[in-house]
Amino acid sequence: MDCIYLPGQRYYGYTGALPEEQILGQWFQVDLKLWLDLEPAIQTDDLNQALDYRDVIAQIRYLFTSQRFTLVETLAGEIAALGLGFPQVQAVEVHLTKLAPPIPDYTGQITIQICRNRTAPPQA
């Protein structure tokens, strides 16, 4: 299985359990891996046979600008579902990082990792 890796995406969003996070917002980073078969694109050199990652990025950007969540886990799950929404994607790995979590005396980051696979349809 091949992988498209889209690291270092930064988005401003309004996700967090504290009221200030819902009002003021904050920066997040998304590192996304999408597993799929790249052979059709490799063989044809045709964008129509590939996953256009510009579409993936646009949908993630829209998610950050159009929705608010209380939990970072929920946002990470939505990004994973978005990735699996592309039919050629078989698995996703999302690392969603809150770059400056509002935790007293804490200067680190928090990252949620979500891994999801497309479920095979039941066998008849």
What positions carry a catalytic annotation?
98
Q: Tokens 């930064």 sit at which residue?
A: 10
Alpha carbon distances (Å) from 56 to 4, 6, 21, 25, 44: 11, 9, 25, 22, 21
